[in-house]
């Protein structure tokens, strides 16, 4: 770092140091590491300031939270360990939802995968299962996520690209061919059309002879965060919420081991939110689903135990750990105090974590392995139930096989070698971590008040509140990276001239053609009368108030396509368009 003797000074005119190295005030392009022939690494050792000066004026997290140099008993004066922390496995679950945590069972290592045709994805699943992965995770392509068949005009060029293409039950049969659905748990990242895709999964299981009661897994099914951040919505909020409460009701009766929703902060964070926003908005969504379920006439303890969460683990280590711990406490308190849930399982916030895709850099992609490892560590120390670690090349394209394997190995090293799984919530009691945990909680509660003042989650969405908060945070972050206030290795620190090459997985245009062939084939062979009747049943059920799941099941079994079913719903429910927020 620079030799500036004053230590703290601002970046700006006159503030630049003439020294080389990693001066945060220098424009990124000028801050290349010296060329090192033979691929060697340039070493740089930070220097200590004489007289206890500090390297920077402000020390901040990537969420622009200012961090002080030292935390002590003063900062956690108000913390009551009994009330606020409890013991692991007990209310308010700050220290974990299970008394023994990873001593009892390790987290589930669940790598998100799926691309191209159902055959290709099926092969990838078998590869991962044979390498010790313990759960499946399905990614769908954009047409599927938006309810368009592969032969729709808007699907051109997108079929099978960022996930698997599912048009009809026939695709689903191939996707899970040879995989015993009573023995794997499957997580499906699908939202707007989640109920229909879930119906396909249940139908495939039935064909394998597996009753729906035996199925385990998760559908993401979280439409609120789609409006807020991820934007793969189809219908307006009202009918979307109805589809979700229908899955709650159906699940609690017929698929009791299934997580009918995964309330997701991951995408909110990827869209550029701060850690506190991710926490607050996700839990606000969660409470909104609970309210909707109760309003739809369900008993809170009948469906709340099946709600699960999905968070991002980003690069600021302590802030992430604090976020996970705070999430559990807020949820437990809200469910017990606000919604009067009696079943302790309704109070427990269980969550899946994925390391931050946005933290990966296209430059020097091997560095992403290291980033992902730290992020994974934060998730484990935060008590996650399952984890996806990103592959190093995900910033560039779909992960190649070797990169996927390293990502999985990263988790295995964490579990087998580092010792972090030996004891429960080892960071508890740290002045800093406890302070930050309480701070996060306070910030989330303050956001809840603001959302309430706007009339609740849906009105706040329609007013663009979340979107504006996130857009502001994303823009500020980008500017902080650009000014050098925040360092990103390979991007504005230690920049190298030549970006390293990585192995990329390419989807051939063949995929689209083959998928279209199969769709045409299925449509030609099916019983058209049965399809028409099933689609009409979908329409009339949509006009009424009954549960949609049974009519979806009949429609998919008749090989009606996803696009056909969703089109009926588009006609009945209308389409959502976002407010213009920047």
Partner 1 sequence: MDLVDRLLDGDRRALARAITLTENEDPLAGDLAAAVFPHTGRARTLGVTGPPGVGKSTVVDGLVHLERATGRRVGVVAVDPTSPFSGGAILGDRIRMRRGASDPGVFIRSLATRGHLGGLSWHTGSVVRLLDAAGFDTILIETVGAGQAEVEIMRYAVTTIVILVPGLGDEVQAIKAGILEIADILVVNKADREGADGLVRELEATLELGAGSAASWKPPVLKTVATADRGLDAVLAAAHDHYLYLESSGSLQARLERELNAEVRGLVRDLAGRAALDWARSAGAWDSALSEVLARRTDPRSAAAGLVTRFLGRVQRKSRP
Partner 2 sequence: MSHAKVRVLVAKPGLDSHDRGAKVVARAYRDAGLEVVYTGLHQTPEEIAEAAVQEDVDVAALSILSGAHLTLVPEVVNRLRAKGADDVLILVGGIIPDEDVPALKEAGAAGVFGPGANLDEIVEFTLANLRRRGA
Q: For residue 459, state whether it binds partner 1 (rule: CB under 8 A).
A: yes
Q: For residue 15, state whether it binds ligand GTP (rule: CB under 6 A).
A: no
User: E strands within 371-530?
Assistant: 386-388
* Three-state secondary structure call for residue 200: helix
Nearer to ligand GTP, 463 or 526 (CB): 463
Rounded to a whole number, what is the distance in angstroms from the first to the last CA of the chain? 36
For helices 549-557 and 562-573, the axis angle rounded to 10 degrees is: 140
Nearer to partner 2, 145 or 565 (CB): 145
Give how far Cα 300 sits from Cα of 152, 292, 380, 456, Å.
40, 10, 29, 19
Q: Would you call 210 exposed, middle or buried from its count of C-beta atoms within 10 A (0-12, 13-18, 19+)?
A: middle
CB of 193 to partner 2, least distance (A): 13
- Site map (CB under 8 A) of partner 1, residues 418-457, x = contact: -------------------------------------x--
CB of 546 to partner 1, least distance (A): 21
Q: Which of 462, 472, 496, 572 binds ligand GTP (CB under 6 A)?
A: 462
Q: For residue 44, state whether it binds partner 1 (rule: CB under 8 A).
A: no
The alpha-helical segments, DSSP class H, found in 181-228 are: 194-208, 224-225
Asked if residue 426 lies in contact with residue 377, where contact means CB atoms within 8 angstroms, the answer is no
Asked if residue 225 lies in contact with residue 312, where contact means CB atoms within 8 angstroms, the answer is no
Q: Which of 231, 291, 345, 463 binds partner 1 (CB under 8 A)?
A: 463
Count of residues interacting with ligand GTP (CB under 6 A): 4
CB of 572 to partner 1, least distance (A): 11
Q: Say which residue the tokens 């219908």 belong to.
A: 235
Q: Which stretch binds ligand GTP (CB under 6 A): 63-71, 140-148, 548-556, 572-580?
A: 572-580
**What are the beta bridge partners of residue 137?**
187
Structure tokens that stand for 85 in this block: 């922390």
Q: Which does 550 bind (CB under 5 to 8 A by kind): partner 1, ligand GTP, partner 2, none?
A: none
Nearer to partner 1, 254 or 463 (CB): 463
Q: Which of 27, 238, 340, 509 binds partner 1 (CB under 8 A)?
A: 238
Q: For residue 579, state whether it binds ligand GTP (rule: CB under 6 A).
A: yes
Q: Which does 143 bind (CB under 5 to 8 A by kind): partner 2, ligand GTP, partner 1, none?
A: partner 2
CB of 582 to partner 1, least distance (A): 5
The alpha-helical segments, DSSP class H, found in 344-400 are: 344-347, 367-381
Please state, in angstroms and rounded to a whole number, the distance separating the CA atoms of residues 334 and 456.
15
Q: For residue 577, state whether it binds partner 1 (rule: CB under 8 A).
A: yes
- Strands 261-264, 258-259: parallel, antiparallel or unpaired by DSSP? unpaired
- Interface with ligand GTP (CB under 6 A): 462, 577, 579-580
Q: Which residues bind partner 1 (CB under 8 A)?
A: 236, 238, 455, 459, 462-464, 574, 576-582
């Amino acid at each position: 770092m620079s030799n500036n003797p004053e230590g703290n000074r601002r970046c700006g005119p006159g503030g630049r140091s003439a020294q080389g190295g990693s001066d945060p005030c220098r424009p990124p392009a000028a801050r290349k590491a010296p060329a090192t022939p033979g691929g060697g690494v340039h070493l740089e050792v930070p220097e200590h300031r004489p007289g206890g000066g500090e390297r920077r004026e402000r020390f901040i997290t990537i969420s622009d939270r200012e961090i002080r140099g030292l935390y002590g008993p003063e900062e956690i004066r108000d913390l009551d360990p009994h009330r606020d922390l409890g013991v692991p496995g007990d209310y308010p679950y700050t220290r974990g939802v299970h008394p023994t945590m990873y001593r009892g069972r390790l987290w589930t290592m669940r790598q998100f995968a799926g691309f191209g045709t159902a055959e290709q994805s099926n092969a990838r699943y078998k590869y991962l299962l044979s390498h010790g992965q313990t759960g499946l995770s399905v990614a769908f392509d954009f047409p599927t996520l938006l309810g368009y068949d592969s032969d729709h005009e808007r699907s051109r060029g997108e079929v099978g690209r960022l996930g698997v293409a599912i048009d009809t039950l026939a695709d689903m049969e191939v996707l899970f061919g040879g995989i015993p659905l009573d023995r794997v748990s499957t997580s499906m990242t699908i939202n707007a059309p989640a109920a229909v895709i879930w119906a396909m999964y249940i139908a495939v299981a039935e064909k394998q002879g597996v009753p729906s009661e035996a199925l385990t897994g998760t559908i993401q099914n979280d439409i609120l965060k789609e409006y807020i951040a991820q934007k793969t919505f189809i219908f307006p909020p009202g009918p979307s919420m109805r589809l979700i409460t229908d899955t709650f009701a159906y699940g609690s009766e017929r698929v009791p081991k299934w997580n009918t929703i995964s309330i997701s902060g991951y995408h909110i964070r990827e869209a550029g939110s701060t850690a506190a926003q991710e926490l607050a908005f996700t839990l606000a969504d969660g409470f909104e689903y609970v309210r909707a379920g109760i309003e739809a006439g369900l008993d809170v303890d009948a469906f709340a135990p099946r709600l699960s969460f999905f968070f991002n683990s980003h690069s600021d280590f302590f802030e992430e750990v604090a976020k996970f711990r705070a999430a559990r406490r807020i949820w437990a308190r809200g469910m017990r105090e606000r919604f009067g849930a009696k079943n302790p399982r309704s109070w427990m916030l269980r969550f899946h974590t994925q390391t931050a895709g946005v933290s990966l850099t296209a430059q020097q992609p091997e560095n992403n392995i290291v980033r992902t490892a730290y992020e994974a560590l934060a998730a484990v120390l935060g008590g996650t139930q399952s984890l996806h670690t990103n592959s190093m090349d995900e910033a560039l394209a779909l992960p190649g096989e070797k990169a996927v394997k390293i990502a999985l190995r990263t988790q295995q090293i964490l579990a087998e070698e580092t010792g972090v799984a030996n004891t429960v919530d080892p960071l508890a009691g740290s002045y800093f971590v406890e302070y930050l945990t309480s701070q996060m909680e306070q910030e989330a509660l303050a956001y809840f008040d603001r959302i309430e003042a706007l009339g609740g989650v849906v009105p706040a969405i329609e007013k663009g509140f979340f979107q504006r908060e996130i857009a502001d945070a994303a823009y500020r972050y980008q500017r902080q990276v650009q000014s050098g206030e925040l360092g990103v290795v390979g991007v504005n620190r230690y920049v190298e001239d030549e970006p390293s090459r990585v192995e990329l997985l390419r989807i051939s245009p063949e995929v689209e053609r083959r998928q279209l062939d199969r769709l045409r084939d299925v449509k030609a062979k099916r019983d058209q009368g049965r399809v028409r009747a099933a689609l009409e049943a979908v329409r009339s059920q949509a006009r009424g108030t009954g549960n949609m799941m049974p009519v979806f099941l009949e429609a998919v079994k008749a090989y009606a396509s996803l696009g056909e079913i969703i089109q009926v719903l588009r006609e009945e429910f209308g389409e959502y368009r976002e407010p213009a927020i920047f």
